[in-house]
Structure 1
Amino acid sequence: MAEWLLWGDVDAATLPKVSLHDHLDGGLRPATVLELATEAGIDLEADDPDSLGAWFRDRADSGSLVEYLTTFDVTTAVMQTAPQLERVAREFVLDLADDGVLYGEVRWAPEQHLARGLTLDGAVEAVQRGLEAGVEEVRRTGGSIRVGQLVTAMRHADRGLEIAELAVRHRDRGVVGFDIAGAEAGFPPSRHRVAFDYLAEHQLPATVHAGEADGLDSIRSALLDGRALRLGHGVRIAEDLVLERGAGDRSFVTVGRLARWVRDRRIPLELSPSSNLQTGAIAAWGDELEDHPFDLLYQLGFTVTVNTDNRLMSGTTLSRELALLTEAFDYDLDDLLTFQLNAAEAAFLPLEAREELADRISSGFEAIE
């Protein structure tokens, strides 16, 4: 595992972390993709793990969410049986734990994994077996990690209510929340209003992909129609900020009404810096990490969290994302602690579990200091 050093001597992997936005079908190991594809008779564009990992990163570096999403045709193709799902989920947990993650939410769309006979419930159960196997393996080696499933509906499909009902059925068997994902522009959360109504009736929390490939109207719909407790990415809330130059070097930021609501209500933003660059989500501000509005949002008091989105497609880890942000914005350990405590507060866990998680994070950071 590559080390991502902070300030020359602190390995970011030693920091306790929370992962809120991490897709199961975007977190496979390249070697696993190769092995499962060979077993299934699927041809790939590369025949060794390093080359395949580079292929995923190159294809994802398109500047377009729609093009970025085409890489998932490969990963979902090798996640169509219960053994495949179990293996991918188990390895997913092991890789999170190896990166210092104490709590992770694993989002994925069961409706994309039915091509070889699995039912929706069977798919969720297979993933849960894999997650539990990974947690147990971490425990046996002296570690500790907790994970939960975020069951996701594809926003361009018409199965939102069916998937919401699936999530509620499994809420006491590993599922902690609901999401919608996929091509954002043209497919607003309002299309799935009946699903979100059902979730609200059954008190299952939702996070909604919004403000990545579409703007403020998408975010507004996520909050109104989706009753989102978190925004998946949400980076384009920065479109509701107006930067005005004053006298000398002074500048002022006018915060729009929607942005004020998100900030003042402490609605967490699941920001994914590397992914946001790849998909063009921050194109309005630039094409380098230093152009990302992450720091502006942080300085203005938004509840920012750091995420990977898809570790395979971005060739990243949470440690790498923290190291990149530290280099870009000169953050210190207190800043990184804030990001993790924000994520712990935003986790779809009971209050007592969130408080315990925050205590473990704080203790872990104190030990490093």
Structure 2
Amino acid sequence: MTQALLDAIPDLPKVLLHDHLDGGLRPQTVLELAAAVGHDLPAHDAESLGDWFQAAADSGSLPRYLETFDHTIAVMQTPEALARVAKEAVLDLAADGVVYAEQRWAPEQHVQRGMTLPETVEAVQAGIDAGVREAAAAGRTIRVGQLVTAMRHADRWQEIAELAVAYRDAGVVGFDIAGAEDGFAPDRHAGVWRFLAEQNFPTTIHAGEASGLASISQAVHLGQADRLGHGVRIMEDVRLSEHDRTAELGPLAHWVRDHQIVLEVCPVSNLQTDAAPGATSVADHPITRLKELDFAVTLNTDNRLMSRTSLSHEMRLLVSEAGWTIDDLADVTLTAAWSAFLHHDERRALVDDVILPGYQKVEGALR
């Protein structure tokens, strides 16, 4: 049954909430875009370049992991490049069976060659629209929204939040902050969270990846985050007994679980950056324990280029190394669908018309 499930994973409908646009480029695209702008790369063929990105990301250090983005961002500085990368991301996700995705990226990082912030958002949306159309022509239906991100250290949070809200009816579905977590907590610009709340605008915050409970607490209570980017270090507020598999939750862990604040967990990336201290494989990554404890867990890729991953790959690892079943995969997929930055009726349609029928079809074939 396990092998049959592994073989069926590409056919499962998938929902992806945490995937960085600048972390999902095709290596060949990086090469071609770099050649067009004269940017020097550490390797000069697609396979070697892919190897370099993965090796740098495997360093075990989040700062080193983030260095890889110097190259991807450098080649995403024109409307044409942004649109190409966005279109290819949509096509790659659709080919992996993703039916709904949110692509997060930071417009402020793409103005080095003269684009305005609105122009960057419009270029990405043009690429998304083209990718959706091309995927549909190939028989694959996918819906993709933009998550506009502010970089923590750049201190443009309010400006980027206003940009996100301005494009809420033109492809942008939510707001995020990303980058160095330590030293750049949500209280750095406390007013932005009040602004977003007043605008009734969905928010996810990177927290519980490179920093621990204090970061999660601020994201939840000050940032009023609907979802936590990663969030795996909430386990620091959970005391486990390996003897009888019981768990004692601290007050913050209770709060996150009681309110079903969604965890956007990225197992392969977390292992690369040591975001899950003590975990050395997907088998002992805390995602399984968090799901068993009824936290609102979703499964994500983070950066497909750096981690050489896909949602199907993450699922295969959980099945083969952590013993997940099709019910476990359905559980995280449904949680993601119900947590998408869509209106409730749209979420219901996604679940009732796409996710459940897709899983029922695969389950029927596995019997």
Are the counterparts in 2 of residues 231 and 268 from structure 1 also a CA contact under 8 Å? Answer: yes
**1:214 counterpart SS class:** coil
**Number of the residue aligned with 1:240:** 237
- Give the CA deviation at 1:7: 3.9
> C-alpha offsets along residues 305-334 of structure 1, whole Å, 9 cap, x if unaligned?
000000000000000000101112211111
> C-alpha offsets along residues 183-207 of structure 1, whole Å, 9 cap, x if unaligned?
1011111113211111111111100
Distance in structure 2 (CA, Å) of the matches to 1:114 and 1:266: 37
Q: 1:79 aligns with which of 56, 76, 97?
A: 76
Are 2:275 and 1:278 aligned? no
**Number of the residue aligned with 2:115:** 118
Distance in structure 2 (CA, Å) of the matches to 1:196 and 1:74: 31
Q: 1:252 aligns with which of 223, 236, 246?
A: 246
- Give the CA deviation at 1:80: 0.2
Are the counterparts in 2 of residues 168 and 202 from structure 1 also a CA contact under 8 Å? Answer: yes
- Give the CA deviation at 1:9: 5.8
Q: Which stretches of structure 1, 4 residues or longer, exceed 6 Å deviation after superposition? A: none
> TM-score w.r.t. structure 2 length?
0.96
Q: How does 1:209-228 map to 2 (within 5 A)?
A: 209-228=206-225
Distance in structure 2 (CA, Å) of the matches to 1:56 and 1:84: 20
Are 2:191 and 1:194 aligned? yes
**Number of the residue aligned with 1:344:** 337
Distance in structure 1 (CA, Å) of the matches to 2:122 and 2:279: 42
Identity over the aligned pairs, expressed in percent? 57
Are the counterparts in 1 of residues 257 and 294 from structure 2 also a CA contact under 8 Å? Answer: yes
Amino acid at match of 2:333: Q
**Number of the residue aligned with 2:325:** 332
Are 2:299 and 1:299 aligned? no
- Give the CA deviation at 1:10: 2.7
Distance in structure 2 (CA, Å) of the matches to 1:347 and 1:131: 17
How many residue pairs match? The answer is: 361
Q: 2:157 aligns with which of 124, 148, 160?
A: 160
The two structures, once aligned, show a CA RMSD in angstroms of 1.1
Q: How does 1:167-178 map to 2 (within 5 A)?
A: 167-178=164-175
Distance in structure 2 (CA, Å) of the matches to 1:66 and 1:197: 30
Indicate the structure with greater helix content. 2
Are 2:358 and 1:364 aligned? yes
Gap regions ≥5 residues in structure 2: none
**2:47 counterpart SS class:** helix
**Number of the residue aligned with 1:13:** 10
Are 2:100 and 1:103 aligned? yes
**Number of the residue aligned with 2:176:** 179
Q: 1:6 and 1:322, CA in 2 relative to 1: closer, same or farther beyond 3 A?
A: farther
- Give the CA deviation at 1:64: 1.3
More displaced stretch, 69-78 vs 134-143: 134-143
Amino acid at match of 1:291: D
- Give the CA deviation at 1:6: 4.7
**Number of the residue aligned with 1:268:** 262
> C-alpha offsets along residues 211-260 of structure 1, whole Å, 9 cap, x if unaligned?
00000000000011211000000000000001135xxx424210111111
Q: 1:318 aligns with which of 307, 311, 317?
A: 311
Distance in structure 1 (CA, Å) of the matches to 2:244 and 2:229: 32
**1:156 counterpart SS class:** helix
> C-alpha offsets along residues 8-58 of structure 1, whole Å, 9 cap, x if unaligned?
663311110000000000000000000000111111111111110010000
**Number of the residue aligned with 1:32:** 29
